[in-house]
Amino acid sequence: MKLLILFLITAMAFTGCSTTTKEASYKQITPDEAASMLETETGYILLDVRTAEEYEEKHIPGAVNIPNETIGAEEIPELSDKDQLILIYCRSGNRSKQAAEKLAKQGYTNIVEFGGINDWTGETVSGEQ
């Protein structure tokens, strides 16, 4: 019996000392909140993660196009500062969430995902910029 109690106390002590890893995360906001941030923030990157064709058809002015499908484990030259504010959007919000998760796992610390251009009420432009 004493051996069992000693074993349980030892097991509890070791489980209490386990380390937890910080999960990669990003913030989600609405397109309206993103529009306000674009007016007040500086030094950010506005990232459109749709295909090049979708981007050329219509995008938010000042957006950089890096398709979600090209974001992997490799470093991204356009996103060299991992602490810079990155505002991400796509068409409906699915790819932007995927891209935000991938970037967070790569160590980017200031990611804000705001859904899709389908819900954007602000200005858009056509063609490559």
- Whole-angstrom Cα distance, residue 32 to residue 2? 64
Q: Give which of 36, 28, 29, 113 is closest to 71, Cα–Cα.
A: 113
- Which residues are tagged catalytic? 90
Answer yes or no: is pLDDT of 21 > 60: no
Q: Give which of 125, 126, 112 is closest to 31, Cα–Cα.
A: 112
Q: Which helix (H) or strand (E) holds 116?
A: strand 111-116
Total of domains in the chain: 1
Q: Give which of 78, 95, 87, 71 is closest to 122, Cα–Cα.
A: 87
Confidence of residue 127 (pLDDT cuts 50, 70, 90): confident
Is 10 part of any domain? no
- Whole-angstrom Cα distance, residue 120 to residue 95? 16
Is 125 part of any domain? no
Is 127 part of any domain? no
pLDDT of residue 4: 45
User: Per residue in 23-56, pLDDT tens?
Assistant: 679 999 999 999 999 999 999 999 999 999 999 9
- pTM of the predicted model as reported, rounded to 2 decimal places: 0.81
User: Per residue in 86-124, pLDDT tens?
Assistant: 999 999 999 999 999 999 999 999 999 999 999 999 999
Confidence of residue 17 (pLDDT cuts 50, 70, 90): very low
Is 83 part of any domain? yes
**Residue 122 CA to chain centroid, in angstroms?**
21
- Residue-range definition of the domain harbouring residue 51: 24-119
Burial class (CB in 10 A: 0-12, 13-18, 19+), 84: middle
* CATH at 95: 3.40.250.10
